[in-house]
Structure 1
Amino acid sequence: MVDLDPIEFERLVRQLFEAMGLKAWSTQASRDDGVDGVAVNEDPIMGGVCVIQAKRYRNVVSTEAVRALAGVMGQMKASRGVLVTTSWFGKASHDFAAEHGRIQLIEGTNLKHMLLEFLGLDVVIGELKRAPRRL
């Protein structure tokens, strides 16, 4: 999956959100303010706008990417933000997302399981520079 074209990867992530029951669309490739997609949950109580950032990485995703998503969420008045990657996030990113409270981080292993569950796709993530360690 790491070898997918960036547009194909964004399309796959959008299809995943649609399969999860959300209305989703991709943003324009340029001038997207770091947003690759938007999903809307129409539930009147738990719903809202969710901005999506998709990263096809072989290395750890920087904390700056997570902070940038928080900024875009504020600009777009989004209720949620999701950063999806083929790789993983470091502790500082997980801590920031937890403190923020409205950011969801989806790492490669979770993405693989979600694609199988919701789209029936058994994908190969690809070779990462370093496997994530869990304590």
Structure 2
Amino acid sequence: MLDLPREAIRHWLVDLFANAVKRLNNREDRLQAIKWLGQSREIVGSDLNLPEKVGRLRALIDSRTVVKFVAARVTESVRNYRKSNLPLAVKIAFPATLAALPFVGGQAAGIAAFGGAIGVPVLLLVFLGTAGITAIIEAVAKDPSVRPEVAEIIDLIIDDERLRQASWKIKAAMREQPCDPVRCATPENEDLLREALCRMDPCKFERHVMSFFESAGLKSIVTRKSNDLGVDGFAVHDHGLIVVQCKRNSAENKVGRPVIQQFKGVIEEHNAFHGFVVTTSTFSEEAEQSASMSKRMTLVDIHSLISWHVTAPIFDLGHA
């Protein structure tokens, strides 16, 4: 069963860390803070024992002035959690939730750590774990003000445990001239929407398509440079990497079986979790038959794409 207070605290802490980084005015300071988060995630996810992790996390914080500044902001907010907008039940559960962490000396040491012996930032990073630290990095990445740092952020996302199965070649493609997803303004009328999508600049169409993945909570990247994998966009799912191919075709130009076969090969050969082919036209019967033979591929034709504009898609992909 989902531990609601714990999840609420986790989301609140992710926002605290992300906002502290985003409020840094200097680009170099933001880069240092982002790199610190990446190094902290590596330590938290390592095979080191807890005292060693704590020592290294503290050393990282002590080594950089900007990190100390971020840590101080987070610490101040956490110490004043009673004045936050957290629900009352969550505020009541807050100290006990953090105290339950198995620090050296048993659970009672968690309270001492919360007070300062180990340090609030270190305690919180251990509490959040690798997934929580990744969520901080992704929250920072979604802010338009940090777009100059997108390449560095992508490097950290690529190192995420969820992408461990993806091949080096597909990770290299993620780094090729990356840009953010952007939703284009589109008409509400279905016929006009269909026409607008078909006339959209190819690069804008790719960014538009990937914005639906981003809006669903999946960190998403568009690559402006063509690659021999035929991948136009990437999204990070809880189970692994989603790859997306966009086909801005005329209505009569159906996507055929060869395209699907080639992309299925990319998904399987490079260990992507799932693949989407999105088009402004439709798919041939042979293409649909080919895709139906794989649980790791989804076809999105113009009708499905239009429905995305009406009801936001939820990418609930449960297969292993």
- TM-score band by shorter chain is 0.7 to 0.9
Give 1:94 shift: 1.1
What residue is the counterpart of 2:200 in the other structure?
4
- The partner residue of 1:16 within 186, 192, 212 is 212
Q: Distance in 1 between matches of 2:209 and 2:228?
A: 16
Whichever structure has more helix as a proportion of its residues is 2
Q: Distance in 1 between matches of 2:266 and 2:224?
A: 15
What residue is the counterpart of 2:279 in the other structure?
85
What residue is the counterpart of 2:95 in the other structure?
none
Q: Distance in 2 between matches of 1:50 and 1:40?
A: 6
Count matched residues.
115
What residue is the counterpart of 2:236 in the other structure?
40
Give 1:48 shift: 1.4
What residue is the counterpart of 1:129 in the other structure?
none
Q: Distance in 2 between matches of 1:111 and 1:51?
A: 17
Is the counterpart of residue 52 in structure 1 residue 248 in structure 2?
Answer: no
Structure 1: runs of 5+ lacking an equivalent:
120-135
Give 1:116 shift: 2.5
Matched to 1:5, the amino acid is D
Give 1:25 shift: 0.5
Q: Distance in 2 between matches of 1:113 and 1:33?
A: 28
Q: Distance in 1 between matches of 2:223 and 2:265?
A: 17
What residue is the counterpart of 1:70 in the other structure?
264
The worse-fitting range, judged by mean Cα deviation, of 79-88 and 94-103 is 94-103
Q: Distance in 2 between matches of 1:78 and 1:103?
A: 10
What residue is the counterpart of 2:227 in the other structure?
31
The worse-fitting range, judged by mean Cα deviation, of 110-119 and 55-64 is 110-119
Residues 203 and 224, structure 2, Cα contact 8 Å, conserved in 1: no
Q: SS at the partner of 2:293?
A: helix
Q: Distance in 2 between matches of 1:6 and 1:32?
A: 17
Structure 1 residues 68-107: Cα deviation after superposition (integer angstroms, max 9, x where no partner): 1111112321011100001100111111111122110000
What residue is the counterpart of 1:108 in the other structure?
302
Whichever structure has more strand as a proportion of its residues is 1
Matched to 2:277, the amino acid is L
TM-score by length of 2: 0.35
Q: Distance in 2 between matches of 1:101 and 1:93?
A: 14
Residues 240 and 273, structure 2, Cα contact 8 Å, conserved in 1: yes
Q: Distance in 1 between matches of 2:216 and 2:288?
A: 23
What residue is the counterpart of 2:77 in the other structure?
none
Q: Distance in 2 between matches of 1:63 and 1:84?
A: 14
Q: SS at the partner of 2:312?
A: helix
Which structure has the larger Rg over C-alpha atoms? 2
Structure 2: runs of 5+ lacking an equivalent:
1-196, 314-320
Relative contact order: is structure 1 or structure 2 higher (C-alpha 8 Å, sep ≥ 6)? 1
Q: Distance in 2 between matches of 1:88 and 1:33?
A: 22
TM-score by length of 1: 0.79
Residues 232 and 246, structure 2, Cα contact 8 Å, conserved in 1: yes
Give 1:32 shift: 5.1
Superposed CA RMSD in Å reads 1.5
**Which 4+ stretches in 1 moved above 4 angstroms?**
none
